[in-house]
Structure 1
Amino acid sequence: MITLYSYPELFGVADNNGYGLKVFAFLKLTGVPFTHRHIFDASGAPRGQLPYIDDDGEAIGDSETIIAHLIQRYGLAIDSGLTLAQHHTDHLITRMLDDLYWVMSYSRWQDEHYWPAFHDALLAQHPGLSEDALRSAQEFNSMRYYYQGIGRYAPADAYARGLADLQVLADIIPSNRFLHGPAPTTVDAAIYGFIANIYFFPIETPLRQFVAARDNLIDHCMAIHALVSATPPAEQYAGAH
Structure 2
Amino acid sequence: MRTLYSYPDLFGVADNNPFGLKVYAFLRLHNVEFEHRHILDTRSAPRGQLPYLVDGTVTIGDSDAIIAYLDERCGLNADATLDSQQRNLDLLVRRTLDDLYWQMSYSRWRDERYWPAFKAALLETHPDITAASLEGAREYNRLRYHYQGIGRYEPDQVYARGMDNLRVVADLLGEQPFFFGAQPEKIDAALYGFIANIYFYEIDTPLKRYVLSRPGLVRHCLAIHERVR
Instruction: State the TM-score, normalizing by the size of structure 2.
Output: 0.98
Q: Which amino acid aligns with 1:51?
A: P
Asked if 1:77 corresponds to 2:74, the answer is no
Q: 1:5 is paired with a residue of what secondary structure?
A: strand
Q: 2:40 is paired with a residue of what secondary structure?
A: coil
Q: Which amino acid aligns with 1:143?
A: L
Q: Which amino acid aligns with 1:117?
A: A
In structure 1, the residue matched to 2:3 is: 3
In structure 1, the residue matched to 2:21 is: 21
Distance 2:204 2:104 in 1: 12
Q: 1:227 is paired with a residue of what secondary structure?
A: helix
Q: How does 1:151-230 map to 2 (within 5 A)?
A: 151-175=151-175, 177-229=177-229
Deviation at 1:73, TM superposition (A): 1.4
Deviation at 1:77, TM superposition (A): 2.2
The answer as to whether partners of 1:146 and 1:152 remain within 8 angstroms in 2 is yes
In structure 1, the residue matched to 2:114 is: 114
In structure 1, the residue matched to 2:66 is: 66
Q: Which has the higher contact order (CA 8 A, sep 6+)?
A: 1
Q: How many residues align?
A: 229
Identity of aligned residues (%): 57
Distance 1:80 1:29 in 2: 15
Q: 2:60 is paired with a residue of what secondary structure?
A: strand
Q: 1:70 is paired with a residue of what secondary structure?
A: helix
CA offsets per residue over residues 77-135 of structure 1, 9 Å max, x none?
Answer: 22111111111101011111110000000000000011111011011101111111111
Q: Which amino acid aligns with 2:45?
A: A
Distance 1:132 1:70 in 2: 36
Unpaired runs of 5+ residues, structure 2, are: none
The answer as to whether partners of 1:46 and 1:60 remain within 8 angstroms in 2 is yes
Distance 2:55 2:161 in 1: 36
In structure 2, the residue matched to 1:141 is: 141
The answer as to whether partners of 1:175 and 1:219 remain within 8 angstroms in 2 is no
Distance 1:93 1:192 in 2: 12
The 4+ residue runs of structure 1 with deviation greater than 6 A are: none
Distance 1:176 1:67 in 2: 24
CA offsets per residue over residues 187-219 of structure 1, 9 Å max, x none?
Answer: 000000000000100111100000011111000
The answer as to whether partners of 1:196 and 1:221 remain within 8 angstroms in 2 is yes
Deviation at 1:5, TM superposition (A): 0.4
The answer as to whether partners of 1:13 and 1:200 remain within 8 angstroms in 2 is yes
Q: CA RMSD for the aligned pairs? A: 0.8
In structure 2, the residue matched to 1:232 is: none
Deviation at 1:155, TM superposition (A): 0.3
Deviation at 1:176, TM superposition (A): 5.2
Q: Which amino acid aligns with 2:163?
A: L
CA offsets per residue over residues 146-175 of structure 1, 9 Å max, x none?
Answer: 001111110011111100000011101132
Q: Which amino acid aligns with 1:74?
A: C
Unpaired runs of 5+ residues, structure 1, are: 230-241
